[in-house]
Amino acid sequence: MSGKQIIISEVGARDGLQTQPVQVSTADKIRMLYALSATGLRRIEVTSFVHPKIVPQMADAEDVLAGMHRAPGVRYAAFVPNIKGAERALAARVEDFKSGVAVSETFNSLNVRMSTGQAMQAFADISAFAKGTSSQVVGVLGTAFGCPYEGDMPVERCLPLIEVMVEGCAKLIYFADTTGMANPGSIARLVEAAQKRWPEINFGLHLHNTRGLGLANALAGLERGVTDFESSIGGMGGCPYAPLAVGNICTEDFVHMLHGMGYETALDLDALIAAARLTETILGAKLPGMVLRAGKASELHDAEKKRDKAPA
Ligand code: ZN
């Protein structure tokens, strides 16, 4: 096992909530973030500074950031698509500006209404803006493993975009499997190519479980020394521009796996499960997380109770 600690960035409040059919109130988002901030998480994505018409769920970005409790030692992030968003995020005291571009031209035009070139320019502008502030830019390379409209994204198409992010001073860059098209082989190819070319940069993974490969893909990253992952509480979420919206890998399921394998996370799994339960209550819906239903593998059952019920 790697001695390095695995750092999880919780994205449920943004990636998870933005596609929910119910409008979650600002007060409930703050309750959810409060619970998440008490789990040992050190990176929490709070909201998105996109235009409210594009993502109505995130229209209260400023109110959430102004009203929430900030736990010491936690970096609070927001998705920032353009310079206007960066200005709003800075005013709202966001520490990490998540910004980036999708490898797929079609996906950029749908998701952020920009060409890939325009999105890269926006990233460069946001990076330049962040340099004079106490906030930092975290790069996100969307559809890095495939696009539902254009198909596979070869490594050669990803590398020039990663280069722009590295030049823009991103020290941490997530490769996002936005619509769940990656497999452990494609994860290994991109991670290895990027690590080889930029050994000084921290490459993380943002994974979705659309085709059931979320944790297998995470394992492929772990085996290549990836220490930064994005996941969402209860596995909620999706993407409005993916034909089938399925959530991120589930934070508590992933942490359950990591702890079972002996990885350090500094996270309180019980507190994460409690936060997932609270999120279900807020949404009034069941979330796809599995440990939430099955319990931890360490929670043993009473065999005698089963024996009574067993058929003779
Ligand atoms: Zn996502």
Query: Could you give the domains of the chain?
Result: 7-309 (3.20.20.70)
Please count the other Cβ atoms lying within 10 Å of the Cβ belonging to residue 270. 11
What pLDDT shows up at residue 32? 97
- Rounded to the nearest angstrom, the distance between the alpha carbon of 73 and the centre of ligand 1 is 24
What pLDDT shows up at residue 19? 80
For residues 45 and 199, give the distance between their C-alpha atoms in angstroms, rounded to a whole number.
Answer: 26
- Rounded to the nearest angstrom, the distance between the alpha carbon of 138 and the centre of ligand 1 is 15
Please count the other Cβ atoms lying within 10 Å of the Cβ belonging to residue 306. 9
Q: Rounded to 5 degrees, what are φ and ψ at 103?
A: -65, -35
- Rounded to the nearest angstrom, the distance between the alpha carbon of 206 and the centre of ligand 1 is 6
Cβ neighbours of residue 218 closer than 8 Å, sequence gap 6 or more: 205, 207, 229, 249, 254, 257
Q: Rounded to 5 degrees, what are φ and ψ at 48?
A: -140, 135
For residues 206 and 188, give the distance between their C-alpha atoms in angstroms, rounded to a whole number.
Answer: 14
For residues 80 and 50, give the distance between their C-alpha atoms in angstroms, rounded to a whole number.
Answer: 7
Active site residues: 239
Radius of gyration of the chain (CA): 19
For residues 198 and 222, give the distance between their C-alpha atoms in angstroms, rounded to a whole number.
Answer: 18
Sequential pLDDT tens for the chain (312 residues)? 556 899 999 999 998 898 887 889 999 999 999 999 999 999 999 999 998 888 889 999 999 999 999 999 999 999 999 999 999 999 999 999 999 899 999 999 988 888 999 999 999 999 999 998 999 999 999 999 999 999 999 999 999 999 999 998 889 999 999 989 999 999 999 999 999 999 999 999 999 999 999 999 999 999 999 999 999 999 987 555 555 567 899 999 999 999 999 999 999 999 999 999 999 999 988 899 999 999 999 999 888 888 867 666
Global pTM value: 0.94
Residues with CB under 5 A from ligand 1 (ion): 15
Cβ neighbours of residue 150 closer than 8 Å, sequence gap 6 or more: 104, 105, 106, 107, 143
DSSP H or E run through 140: strand 136-142
- Rounded to the nearest angstrom, the distance between the alpha carbon of 237 and the centre of ligand 1 is 7
What pLDDT shows up at residue 241? 55
